[in-house]
Amino acid sequence: MTGSTRTLSKYWMLTNDFTQNPYPVLEYVRRESPVRELSMPGGGRAWVVTRYEDAKAALADPRLSRDIHVQYELMSERSGRTLVPPPEEANHLANLEPPRHTPLRKAISFAFTPRRAEALRPRIEEIADELLDGLAPQARPDLIAGYADPLPVIVIAELMGVPADSWPDFLRWSTALRTHSPAEGSGVLDRSIQELSAYMSDLIARKEQEPGEDLLSALIHADEERRLTRTEILSTGFALMTGGNDTTASLVGGVIAALLTHPAERTELLSEPGRWGRSMDELIRYVSPIANALQRVTTEPVELGGVTIPAKEVVIISVMSTNRDTGQFPDHPDELDLTRSKPAHLSFGFGIHYCSGAHLAKLITEIGARRLFERFPDVRLAVGPEELRYQQNVVVRPLAELPVRL
Ligand code: HEM
């Protein structure tokens, strides 16, 4: 679409057409109005940042706040009602800024080092293999519902110390948190948050008495100066589930789909196991497991890309757009190129909120994709690639289904 003019609706980023085919629109927006207004369905507006350099600056700018209280104050002002964030959302690192962010981040950092992630490799392989066993007899399995969705849920539940008989509930809650929005008012979301919260409170109480070798137990029994409150531990559990499950599922599904449609790259990866580590960032850049970073609110006027965004405005950072920005990736950014050297994508964020689970997410994805292709070398799409559909969501960008023949 280079050089074209377009008429975009004021809801341009929120339409189904955009979700299914966003890149031509983003290319146009980056060129014509790289920090562009977007009307929100409930009223009000947001500013969408689409260029790599601006996005990186925005992610590192403390005037763009991730503090959920700042966000709720703005929502209260706009709606004329006093809105208060639920405790599950109000006490974790992704929704707070320093000084509260700092100890919350420090408390979990030990669990997410590359070495800790690597130690989980054999267990992640077992979980992947068990899920593949379940797919084997099916004529046309859906690799999203049957594989990409449950794999990270089980790994993260196990990491936190959730017993195996609760994993099906965890998968159900995780799906509900992703697929239902507060605006829809179906009650499923509220019910799922309540159930998950009650379950986690009970689990924390049990681990106070009988600690295990897991992350929740480590947080509960941490040294006094590092210890979080019960509410913070509960909220951190929410952050790991909501931050880790959908995002990783989206990446696992996206990478498998990309390799199903790029047989040469797939052969290359499978012939040399060491290639996965070196190629993962290019796979992530190409797939774009998330559409946008978590939204920010300006605490004072901020100039970005030549536009002054006033104070108390919502800012959306389009990570998906930055992944195809020729300013950062000058050579054929729309293509998967495993020889691209270390693409510095922003899919795990940048700055103090940089993803805690990045190593783990890469490992789950490598194992998930590799085990599938090793076990079923003839696996192929059961539909044409043009029939694949993405789910509409303001943060993650998962495929809705990935039907295959094994
Ligand atoms: C492909 C998978 C993943 C992607 C694309 C991803 C992406 C991100 C991004 C973009 C952020 C920064 C949010 C922002 O600043 O707006 C973030 C933060 C975070 N992620 Fe991930 N994530 C993934 C997997 C995981 C996993 C597996 C976990 C843990 C189990 C995790 C835990 C977190 C946490 C706790 C934060 C908040 C960090 C902070 O605020 O200091 N993520 N993630």
pLDDT in tens, 362-379: 999 999 999 999 999 999
pLDDT bucket at 42, cuts 50 / 70 / 90: confident
CB atoms < 10 A from the CB of 168, how many? 12
> Which ligand 1 atom minimizes the distance to the CA of 245?
27
Q: Which amino acid residue places its CA nearest to atom 39 of ligand 1?
A: 353
Helix (H) or strand (E) holding 369: helix 358-375
> Which ligand 1 atom minimizes the distance to the CA of 236?
35
Q: What is the pLDDT of residue 45?
A: 93
Quote the ligand 1 centre to 243 CA distance (angstroms): 5
Q: What is the pLDDT of residue 331?
A: 93
45-49 vs 314-317, strand pairing mode: parallel
Would the pLDDT of 182 be above 70?
A: no
> Which ligand 1 atom minimizes the distance to the CA of 396?
5
Q: Which amino acid residue places its CA nearest to atom 32 of ligand 1?
A: 357
CA gap 361, 315 in Å, rounded? 26
The residue behind tokens 């059961």 is: 382
Average pLDDT over residues 319-339: 96
pLDDT bucket at 1, cuts 50 / 70 / 90: very low
In a mutational test of the pocket of ligand 1, which residue from 108, 232, 247 has the highest number of ligand atoms less than 8 Å from its CB? 247
Q: What is the pLDDT of residue 183?
A: 55
Would the pLDDT of 236 be above 90?
A: yes
φ/ψ (deg, to 5) at 241: -70, -50
User: Comparing C-alpha atoms, which of 249, 218, 227 is closest to residue 112?
Assistant: 218
Would the pLDDT of 317 be above 60?
A: yes
Quote the ligand 1 centre to 356 CA distance (angstroms): 6
Direct distance between the N- and C-terminal alpha carbons of the chain, in angstroms, rounded to an integer: 37
Give the residue, 172 or 255, on which the prediction is more confident: 255
Asked whether 46 and 40 are in contact (CB, 8 A), the reply is yes
Quote the ligand 1 centre to 355 CA distance (angstroms): 4
Q: Which amino acid residue places its CA nearest to atom 15 of ligand 1?
A: 353
Beta-strand runs (E) in 310-377: 314-317
Site residues for ligand 1, CB cut-off 6 Å:
59, 93-94, 105, 156, 239-240, 243-244, 247-248, 251, 289-290, 293-294, 347-349, 353, 355-357, 360-361
DSSP 153-207: HHHHHHHHT--GGGHHHHHHHHHHHHH--GGG--SHHHHHHHHHHHHHHHHHHHH
Asked whether 16 and 285 are in contact (CB, 8 A), the reply is no
CA gap 146, 136 in Å, rounded? 11
Quote the ligand 1 centre to 348 CA distance (angstroms): 6
Q: Which amino acid residue places its CA nearest to atom 24 of ligand 1?
A: 244
* Helical spans, DSSP H, in 6-164: 16-20, 23-32, 52-59, 68-79, 87-90, 101-109, 114-119, 121-135, 150-160
pLDDT bucket at 186, cuts 50 / 70 / 90: low
Q: What is the pLDDT of residues 190-208, one digit of tens each?
A: 888 889 999 999 999 999 9
Q: Which amino acid residue places its CA nearest to atom 36 of ligand 1?
A: 355
Answer whether the bond into residue 99 is a cis peptide, omega within 30°.
yes
In a mutational test of the pocket of ligand 1, which residue from 348, 355, 394, 395 has the highest number of ligand atoms less than 8 Å from its CB? 355
Q: What is the pLDDT of residues 140-154, one digit of tens each?
A: 999 999 999 999 999
Give the residue, 276 or 242, on which the prediction is more confident: 276
pLDDT bucket at 358, cuts 50 / 70 / 90: very high
pTM, whole model, 2 decimals?
A: 0.95
Average pLDDT over residues 270-279: 90
Q: Which amino acid residue places its CA nearest to atom 19 of ligand 1?
A: 355
Q: Kindly report each contact of residues 195-198 with a partner whose C-beta sits within 8 Å and lies 24 or more positions away, as own/partner.
A: 195/169, 196/88, 196/238, 196/241, 197/88, 197/234, 197/238
Quote the ligand 1 centre to 28 CA distance (angstroms): 28
Average pLDDT over residues 264-284: 93
> Which ligand 1 atom minimizes the distance to the CA of 365?
1
Would the pLDDT of 60 be above 80?
A: yes
CA gap 293, 304 in Å, rounded? 16
Mean model confidence pLDDT for the chain: 93
Average pLDDT over residues 211-229: 91
Quote the ligand 1 centre to 305 CA distance (angstroms): 25
> Which ligand 1 atom minimizes the distance to the CA of 296?
16
Q: Which amino acid residue places its CA nearest to atom 7 of ligand 1?
A: 348
Quote the ligand 1 centre to 254 CA distance (angstroms): 17
Q: Which amino acid residue places its CA nearest to atom 2 of ligand 1?
A: 248
pLDDT bucket at 6, cuts 50 / 70 / 90: confident
Q: What is the pLDDT of residues 88-127, one digit of tens each?
A: 999 999 999 999 999 999 999 988 998 888 999 999 999 9
Quote the ligand 1 centre to 342 CA distance (angstroms): 20
